[in-house]
Structure 1
Amino acid sequence: MAAGVLMTKPFMAAAAAALVSLLVMLRCLPSVVATTVSFNYSSFSNASKNITLQGSAALAGAEWIELTKGKGNNLSSGGTMGRMVYTPPVQLWDAATGEVASFTTRFSFNITPKNKSNKGDGMTFFLVSYPSRMPYMGYGGALGLTSQTFDNATAGDREEEEDDSEGDPIVEIEMGTGPRRFPYHILVNATKSFAAEEKLGQGGFGAVYRGNLRELGLDVAIKRFAKDSSKQGRKEYKSEIKVISRLRHRNLVQLIGWCHGRDELLLVYELVPNRSLDVHLHGNGTFLTWPMRINIVLGLGNALLYLHEEWEQCVVHRDIKPSNIMLDESFNAKLGDFGLARLIDHNVGVQTMTHPSGTPGYLDPECVITGKASAESDVYSFGVVLLEVACGRRPMSLLDNQNNSLFRLVEWVWDLYGQGVVLKAADERLNNDYDATSMECVMAVGLWCAHPDRYARPSIRAAMTVLQSNGPLPVLPSKMPVPIYAPPMASSEGQLSSSTGMSSSSLTITSITPR
């Protein structure tokens, strides 16, 4: 820990008889007696061994320190910043036991301006990790304590590369009441140095570990990115922090904290004890009864309703699939992994991406060709998950035959629907132990949501209205429509245009009406 004084913009500190004192009461272990660290300077001529000057700060004589630039009557600092830091480190944490010290501080100081007509506009005392460093691209308006890099990076397109320099704080989070920033060593200890036995799973850009935060008495799941893994991995990390940290819903996984450290990026989530839906549908998890499955799809639908329509912006998740749907101790659904999520203004509706992202089988076919992301593309993925939950089969798989042909769940269920025998698609492991009306409803809404034409899909609110009431069911064509998507046109500036054309002899309906 280091203590310091910082002043920014056109503020010159002149202390004719400056008195700065610090009282720290430190207790690292119960057996260690509290100790006091104090210092007292009446001048700064001999202070160099314990005081470090950073930024534009400079010793301007034996009795005063200038923290920002400006000489004589020219007091304009041009937004410069400086620090005067008391540099001897003070231990606040014991690595062997994990104990955190309790401490109090008291400061006393006198400041006499060099020019009494000059009024400063920024000063603060602060505690920082040792050794202290000025923030990257700091600025006067934030007292030089934070960086403006993140704000600048996200002010433009959420597809542009963002700066990931160490020490770049997420200002919106740190200034609010959301997730906290954890020291790297706390997360190392929580996971037993990321031990193999604590590993919960592996994703495209990192692994997830079980951890225990002793100071909070909380079990957590820690997602670990490697900073040098890929640009896309860093982008997902930033997106996940920016989006999910601002969301609050019972059917969303809660982000507790985050960390930049040792060339790694870490996200800390609440631990959802029953793992992912994927484990129970296709792995060695608990067998899900039909009431449990209905509860899961309704929870997922409520999460999407909040994201698409009830929050201040439309949040497009872009990677809805069973492995991203976590189940709590009561098997309630919690949607997680917002690494691909994008914010879209409600009056815009569609955003064109530089390249499609998502998981084959769950990804809206139109997104692959046009690069468009919208609430309707999330609805498509939701429809596929509904069919997967009802049928107990993955959206795509190789058939065990001589041709090794590809099984497509949506096409298979739609064919049975057209024959009037859609219940034949129900998961055989349920052994007919389900309500036929609700099963038919889930399958019909699943097909409705997975309609190839996004204009023929329902909103998530319309889909939830049918699911919660078991009807009236949508009327769908007996044959699965096959629309033709026009790829995006390149403009003279090289940007993708937003127009798309669609035509098909079999695409005969433009809206769905209840029957």
Structure 2
Amino acid sequence: MEISQLVLCFFLLLLAFSLDAPHHCTDAAATTPPPFSFNFNFSNTYTYRLDDLRFEGTAAVHGATVDLTCDVAQCTTGRMSYGRPVPLWDRTTNEVASFATEFAFKIITPNDKARGDGMAFFLSSYPSHVPPKPSGQNFGLIAGDGENAGSFDRFIAVEFDTYDDTFERPKQIGDHIGIDVSSVADSINTTSLNFSRNGAMKASITFDNVTRMLVATVQFTEPPGSRSAAPVQVSAKLGDPRALLPPEVTVGFSTANGGTFQLDQILSWSFSSTLASPHPVIKGNHKKKGMAGKLAIVGALIFVLLVWSILSWWKWGSSRRDIDKRTGGVRQFKYNELAAATNRFSSENRLIGAGPFGEVYKGFLREMGRHVAIKKISKESRSEGSNRDFYDEVKIISSAKNKNLVELVGWCMKRRWNIFDFICWCREKANTIFLVYEFVDNSNLRVHLHEKEAVLPWTTRYKIVKDICAALVYLHHERCPFVLHRNIKPNNILLDREFNAKLADFGLSRSADKVGKARYLDPECRKTGKFKRSSDVYSFGIVLLEIACKKDENSYAKVWRWYIEKSVMQAADDRLRGEFDERQMERVIVLGLWCSQPNIDMRPTMQQAMDFLESDGPLPELAEPETSSRNEMPSDEYFAPGTGGFEDGSF
């Protein structure tokens, strides 16, 4: 996502909160408070706060349920109630509320023959507490031993009785639901209901302020198939609630077990009253404070993100200017331009080569009207965090103008932006990079030396030698600071239709994880990890011997033996059938040995090498290397760069 789009999103978010804030404030300050209600789903902690509930005895939230008791004998009494007063009638207007409550619950009886007493939904004076010595037969609503029973709160309750109290209350046998008014022993009305299935149930209780009827309905909702069972209902006319309870009441659930026990659980609970909250001002202030706190937090976050976005925008612009400066202003292509030029980097008809740095594709830039070679340098082939080194290399490569160097047309960096990269803009991330070169249309020297059936004639080979030498003289001696190639080999010597040689890939090895094949890499460099101009000279010498000499596993050692025996012409490539200039052949072979001497102090500079090729001066007297130094050449394994530094003057 573009940074400008993110900034726009932040402004729109801020505007949305600004427009929405007055709406909340208006609700909080409304002159007519809404009817009182609440709704709790205990399987979702976002639907309730523990501050809204009061727990007594063994009652507590356990996972997705409120357990009023538990299925062990020690769990005797539990009560859960709404923690604030609930309106029942208005002291000023004498208006009585109609109310309704719904709750899902379970009564789990581990022993059907010795079950607990059950539970009750109740309304009582606010505040209300568990009385002393509560008994199971009274569901914890009044004292169990009968002492001072009349001194405790009056209540209205709907009981869910699971205790077989045949001998204690002969009128009722077995499980039942009933309606109680300040007494459990004498229920106003009861209806039988078998609780032994241990399944979840749904209960609804309503009171109509006109008819004064209290109606309780219960229905099993599980196990599956029980939904179709007919609900069980009990109802009773209560009379005037103002004579039974005060204006503000406590609503909740109460249970107690005697000598036996069971698990009583509440799964969800909702309650609504037609009267408004008895404390609208306090509630409104609470809402205002909560909303103000939320808006303050959101506003602070938006402010921080907005400031960070502005800094990111400035950093992005600064980074772009810095890149332009570091790369010398060479053209930076868009990824879509290169994808279009290569048929989206098709491997079928556009891939023309691959190497340690990545793949090379042939493309056509319609805007420029020319073919180009696009080298895809993957993240895996470069050192971690090497973008800055790469920018320096692009500047050096683009400023190197010589007919024997492949021209750099431009470059591209494909970035994968995500929100984490945007937030962490201070962290430089290695990306996939593309270098766009001129297209040299006659393959490379390795192909013409070793893969083509037609033998490359000596005149062409000698011209290639002079071209390579001229390119290295330019890099080593005609630039300030000088440039090291670091990866001279036949694959990087490209040829055009007239067999003019052009060096490619110069300078790229500095930020790569791999540099050069061991066959062409200076042994001294492999030991120390330090690249010098003499390292390029060594690679140049090995390439000269490959151009001029026979292809043999031990050719390097043999050429040295023939040189010592003063019969160096025996090393000449026999595929040429003697069709070559002997003076040129001799000087190229001797120069190859001179440049590839193990002792770096004995090697010539590239300027000396060019002078030697173009003159008729005497051949140098080369010191015979030790036997171990002129053994078989190394394999074509790639070597990683060492930790040593670079010669002064290199980029």
Report TM bin, short chain. 0.5 to 0.7
Contact 1:251 1:299 in 2 (8 A): yes
Which amino acid counterpart does residue 350 of structure 2 have in structure 1? E
Aligned equivalents of 1:285 and 1:146: distance in 2? 55
Aligned equivalents of 2:338 and 2:485: distance in 1? 27
Match of 2:270 in 1: none
Answering whether residue 481 of structure 2 is matched by residue 313 of structure 1, we say yes
Contact 2:406 2:504 in 1 (8 A): yes
SS in 2 for 1:330: coil
- TM-score, normalised with respect to structure 1: 0.56
> Of residues 610, 613, 617 in structure 2, which corresponds to 1:471?
617
* 1:127-166 deviation digits (Å, cap 9, x = unpaired): xxxxxx9796956xxxx73318x96xxxxxxxxxxxxxxx
SS in 1 for 2:396: helix
Answering whether residue 335 of structure 2 is matched by residue 184 of structure 1, we say yes
Shift of 1:412: 2.3
Match of 1:171 in 2: 325
**What does 1:422-461 correspond to in 2, within 5 Å?**
422-461=568-607
Answering whether residue 459 of structure 2 is matched by residue 301 of structure 1, we say no
SS in 1 for 2:319: coil
Match of 1:223 in 2: 375
User: CA separation of 1:360/1:470 partners in 2, compared to 1, >3 Å: closer, same or farther?
Assistant: farther
Contact 1:441 1:470 in 2 (8 A): no
> Of residues 205, 209, 230 in structure 1, which corresponds to 2:361?
209
Match of 2:525 in 1: 367
Contact 1:184 1:262 in 2 (8 A): no
> Of residues 320, 344, 352 in structure 2, which corresponds to 1:193?
344
> Of residues 372, 391, 396 in structure 2, which corresponds to 1:243?
396
User: CA separation of 1:213/1:51 partners in 2, compared to 1, >3 Å: closer, same or farther?
Assistant: same
SS in 2 for 1:253: coil
> Of residues 373, 381, 401 in structure 1, which corresponds to 2:539?
381
SS in 1 for 2:336: helix
Shift of 1:242: 3.7
User: CA separation of 1:137/1:277 partners in 2, compared to 1, >3 Å: closer, same or farther?
Assistant: farther
User: CA separation of 1:134/1:245 partners in 2, compared to 1, >3 Å: closer, same or farther?
Assistant: farther
* 1:412-458 deviation digits (Å, cap 9, x = unpaired): 21111112221111111111100111100000011000011000001
Shift of 1:357: 3.5
Shift of 1:246: 2.0
Answering whether residue 317 of structure 2 is matched by residue 145 of structure 1, we say yes
Shift of 1:224: 1.0
Aligned equivalents of 1:392 and 1:445: distance in 2? 16
Larger mean Cα displacement after TM superposition, 376-385 or 327-336: 327-336
Answering whether residue 506 of structure 2 is matched by residue 328 of structure 1, we say no
Which amino acid counterpart does residue 335 of structure 2 have in structure 1? Y
Contact 1:411 1:480 in 2 (8 A): no
Match of 1:288 in 2: 456
Q: Which has the higher strand share?
A: 2
Answering whether residue 402 of structure 2 is matched by residue 256 of structure 1, we say no
**What does 1:331-342 correspond to in 2, within 5 Å?**
331-341=499-509
Aligned equivalents of 1:50 and 1:372: distance in 2? 47
Which amino acid counterpart does residue 172 of structure 1 have in structure 2? R
SS in 2 for 1:146: helix
Aligned equivalents of 2:382 and 2:513: distance in 1? 16
Contact 2:489 2:520 in 1 (8 A): yes
Answering whether residue 572 of structure 2 is matched by residue 414 of structure 1, we say no
SS in 2 for 1:463: helix
User: CA separation of 1:201/1:472 partners in 2, compared to 1, >3 Å: closer, same or farther?
Assistant: same
**What does 1:89-128 correspond to in 2, within 5 Å?**
none
* 1:231-256 deviation digits (Å, cap 9, x = unpaired): 36966855642431221111100110
SS in 2 for 1:197: coil
Contact 1:367 1:373 in 2 (8 A): yes
**What does 1:68-87 correspond to in 2, within 5 Å?**
none
Larger mean Cα displacement after TM superposition, 286-295 or 473-482: 473-482
**What does 1:127-142 correspond to in 2, within 5 Å?**
138=314
SS in 1 for 2:598: coil
Contact 1:54 1:134 in 2 (8 A): no
SS in 1 for 2:494: strand
Contact 1:322 1:385 in 2 (8 A): yes
Shift of 1:215: 0.8
CA root-mean-square deviation: 3.8
User: CA separation of 1:190/1:496 partners in 2, compared to 1, >3 Å: closer, same or farther?
Assistant: closer
Match of 1:113 in 2: none
Aligned equivalents of 2:527 and 2:469: distance in 1? 26
Match of 2:439 in 1: 271
Contact 2:530 2:645 in 1 (8 A): no
Shift of 1:372: 1.8
Aligned equivalents of 1:362 and 1:449: distance in 2? 12
Aligned equivalents of 1:285 and 1:254: distance in 2? 30
* 1:167-211 deviation digits (Å, cap 9, x = unpaired): xx34333x63xx311111111111111112111100113100110
User: CA separation of 1:134/1:306 partners in 2, compared to 1, >3 Å: closer, same or farther?
Assistant: farther
Aligned equivalents of 1:474 and 1:51: distance in 2? 71
User: CA separation of 1:186/1:307 partners in 2, compared to 1, >3 Å: closer, same or farther?
Assistant: same
Aligned equivalents of 2:471 and 2:646: distance in 1? 28
* 1:6-39 deviation digits (Å, cap 9, x = unpaired): xxxxxxxxxxxxxxxxxxxxxxxxxxxxxxxxxx
- TM-score, normalised with respect to structure 2: 0.45
Aligned equivalents of 2:365 and 2:311: distance in 1? 28
User: CA separation of 1:231/1:187 partners in 2, compared to 1, >3 Å: closer, same or farther?
Assistant: same
Contact 1:135 1:145 in 2 (8 A): no
The gaps in structure 1 that reach 5 residues or longer are 5-48, 60-132, 152-168, 343-352, 398-406, 485-494, 500-515
* 1:333-356 deviation digits (Å, cap 9, x = unpaired): 1111135455xxxxxxxxxx9998
SS in 2 for 1:201: strand
Match of 1:391 in 2: 549
Contact 2:444 2:490 in 1 (8 A): yes
Q: Which has the higher helix share?
A: 2
Shift of 1:229: 5.3
**What does 1:41-60 correspond to in 2, within 5 Å?**
52=8
Aligned equivalents of 2:579 and 2:504: distance in 1? 30
Contact 1:205 1:233 in 2 (8 A): no
Aligned equivalents of 1:209 and 1:356: distance in 2? 21
Aligned equivalents of 2:616 and 2:400: distance in 1? 29
Q: How many residues align?
A: 323
Which amino acid counterpart does residue 564 of structure 2 have in structure 1? G
Contact 1:240 1:337 in 2 (8 A): no
Shift of 1:329: 2.1
Identity rate, percent: 42
Match of 2:608 in 1: 462
User: CA separation of 1:211/1:237 partners in 2, compared to 1, >3 Å: closer, same or farther?
Assistant: farther
User: CA separation of 1:498/1:53 partners in 2, compared to 1, >3 Å: closer, same or farther?
Assistant: closer
Aligned equivalents of 2:450 and 2:597: distance in 1? 25
Match of 1:158 in 2: none
Aligned equivalents of 1:215 and 1:375: distance in 2? 39
Shift of 1:54: 9.8
Aligned equivalents of 2:390 and 2:603: distance in 1? 31
Aligned equivalents of 1:257 and 1:498: distance in 2? 26
